[in-house]
Amino acid sequence: MFSTSIVEAAARSCGRKVSGACRGGNPRTRWWTPEVRDAVKLKKESYRALLARGTPEAADGYRKAKRAAAQAVVEAKTRVWVEFGEAMEEDYRSASRKFWQTIRRLRRGKQCATNTVYSGSGELLTSTGDVVGRWKEYFEDLLNPTATSSIEEVEAEVSEVDSSITQAEVTEVVGKLLGGRAPGVDEIRPEYLKSLDVQGLSWLTRLCNIAWRSGTVPLDWQTGVVVPLFKKGDRRMCSNYRGITLLSLPGKVYSRVLERRIRPIVEPRIQEEQCGFRPGRGTLDQLYTLHRVLEGSWEFAQPVHMCFVDLEKAFDRVPRGILWGVLREYGVRGPLLRAVRSLYDRSRSLVRIAGSKSDLFQVHVGLRQGCPLSPVLFIIFMDRISRRSQGPEGVRFGDHRISSLLFADDVVLLASSNLDLQRALGRFAAECEASGMRISTSKSEAMVLDRKKVVCPLRV
């Protein structure tokens, strides 16, 4: 009811805009000026006169009108493109956001216009129903890895009472929504929520509190719309696309409120080695740390053995049952944990391709793409893997021993010898397997910093 009311109110207030070129002889382009319109009109009148009279004078008049119309179109298009280029150059220098919005608008529609696709057995599918069905089959298999364990850890009931969600929390989150984002299955755009008055925000707050107290959320909040985006290669192969998932905006507001409550609980418990998805930290911190370690080791002729580990589809493989146990271990319990789980209880998706939508399918494994909660949930999950796999290995740097550096799922293990690195990698691989993750051996690499030439064979 809330979603329907918001969309209907937006349609009544703002109307609907037709995107793309119009048909029926009514072009809406910037070069369609009054001069071009008059020249094209004269050409059509001259053509009708030629058909009616058939005289040499009429034919000569039509040829002149045709050349004049073509010349007017060329001049108008050239002028418009010059003006467009000058405007884009100015936007690039002084209004970068507007510049990139224009780029995205020009690229819109090129995401996936595939009308044919290969089936799993290699057969070329051409009908709309078969193509949509194949995309559903592909993403259903991709988002539900069968080899991933999801044994749930049992929790005793906790009679903890957390405070309700306040309107101030919701208002702050809504105010920071970015405009121009695609809507989820409920068709609510960020601009709709950002335009809500105090009464509208109070209704959204009330909806969030109903979800908080009941431990259940609307189905729209649990439904993702998967849109395939072409990467490279044959456009008819599903594997050459990556899917992005669009979620409900009210559901993302609720998720962001939960994320803001979880952060203060788990942040003090996460190791310093993790710099991914943490405020005030980034890749430069890890690059600087690694640079200083290598610089100091080289100065004192100490070897450094490193293994850069890549995990297969890390976000999509997280077992939810194990994740709930990790959250309890890190202090997320009671109503807060129940609220997080409610977003996953009936998690499902559909595929939108070339204007058509597939049937819904369940998603039982992995974190929700595009959800504000997913980054913090993932670094908690990875932190426990890293913590449990730590040993005496590592490299000395001043008074500290550094055995690993992490940025989300990007991991580098460090040791002072090949034997120590093999032991550290063995423990890390075993802990990953126990947690439902898998190391990609084809994308993982070893590197050694030493004054003499050495080999570093590793086995996973």
Hey, what are 88's tokens?
């884009």
pLDDT band at 1 (very low <50, low <70, confident <90, very high): low
Q: Residues 365-384: what's their mean pLDDT?
A: 95
- What confidence tens digit (pLDDT) does each residue in 42-52 have? 999 999 998 98
In this predicted structure, the answer to whether residue 26 has a pLDDT above a threshold of 50 is no
Hey, what are 347's tokens?
């998690």
Q: How far apart are the first and last CA of the chain?
A: 53
Give the span between the Cα atoms of 290 and 114, in whole angstroms.
44
- What confidence tens digit (pLDDT) does each residue in 384-408 have? 999 999 999 899 888 889 999 999 9
Q: Residues 366-386: what's their mean pLDDT?
A: 95
- Residue 74 sits at the vertex; the CA angle it makes with 68 and 78, to the nearest 5 degrees, is 145
Residues 6 or more apart in contact with residue 158 via CB below 8 angstroms:
333, 334
| DSSP one-letter string for 24-54 | SS----TT--HHHHHHHHHHHHHHHHHHHH-
Per-residue model confidence (pLDDT) at position 27: 43
Residue 369's φ and ψ, nearest 5 degrees, are -70, 135
Per-residue model confidence (pLDDT) at position 147: 52
Per-residue model confidence (pLDDT) at position 457: 74
Residue 83's nearest CA partner among 45, 147, 31 is 31
**Average pLDDT score over the chain:** 88
Hey, what are 440's tokens?
């990609």
Per-residue model confidence (pLDDT) at position 196: 92
Which is more confident, 17 or 268? Answer: 268
Q: Which of 104-113, 167-176, 292-301, 354-363 has the lowest mean pLDDT?
A: 104-113
Give the span between the Cα atoms of 98 and 280, in whole angstroms.
27
- What confidence tens digit (pLDDT) does each residue in 93-141 have? 888 888 888 887 776 544 445 678 999 899 999 898 999 999 999 999 9
In this predicted structure, the answer to whether residue 303 has a pLDDT above a threshold of 50 is yes
Residues 6 or more apart in contact with residue 254 via CB below 8 angstroms:
208, 211, 217, 221, 343
Q: Residues 26-44: what's their mean pLDDT?
A: 83
Give the span between the Cα atoms of 116 and 104, in whole angstroms.
25
In this predicted structure, the answer to whether residue 437 has a pLDDT above a threshold of 50 is yes
> Any idea what DSSP says for residue 123?
P
172 with 392: CB under 8 angstroms?
no
Provide the total of helices (H) and of strands (E) in the chain, helices listed first.
16, 13
Q: Residues 331-339: what's their mean pLDDT?
A: 95
Residue 165's nearest CA partner among 238, 255, 70, 273 is 255
- What confidence tens digit (pLDDT) does each residue in 52-70 have? 888 989 899 999 999 999 9
Q: Which of 22-31, 73-82, 240-249 has the lowest mean pLDDT?
A: 22-31
Q: Could you give the count of Cα atoms lying within 13 Å of 444 in the half-sphere of its Cβ?
A: 22
Per-residue model confidence (pLDDT) at position 21: 44
In this predicted structure, the answer to whether residue 39 has a pLDDT above a threshold of 90 is yes
Q: Report the phi/psi class of residue 29: left, alpha or beta, with left for phi > 0 and alpha for psi in -120 to 50.
A: beta
SS3 call for 21: coil
- What confidence tens digit (pLDDT) does each residue in 243-302 have? 999 999 999 999 999 999 999 999 999 999 999 999 999 999 999 999 999 999 998 889
Residues 6 or more apart in contact with residue 266 via CB below 8 angstroms:
330, 331, 332, 376, 380
Q: Which of 1-10, 41-50, 130-139, 213-222 has the lowest mean pLDDT?
A: 1-10
Hey, what are 273's tokens?
């080695």
Hey, what are 320's tokens?
């939810």
In this predicted structure, the answer to whether residue 19 has a pLDDT above a threshold of 90 is no
Q: Residues 181-185: what's their mean pLDDT?
A: 90
Among 30-34, 95-99, 168-172, the range with the most confident prediction by mean pLDDT is 168-172
The pTM (predicted TM-score) of the whole model is: 0.77
Per-residue model confidence (pLDDT) at position 162: 60
Label residue 363 exposed, middle or buried (CB < 10 Å: 0-12, 13-18, 19+). Answer: buried
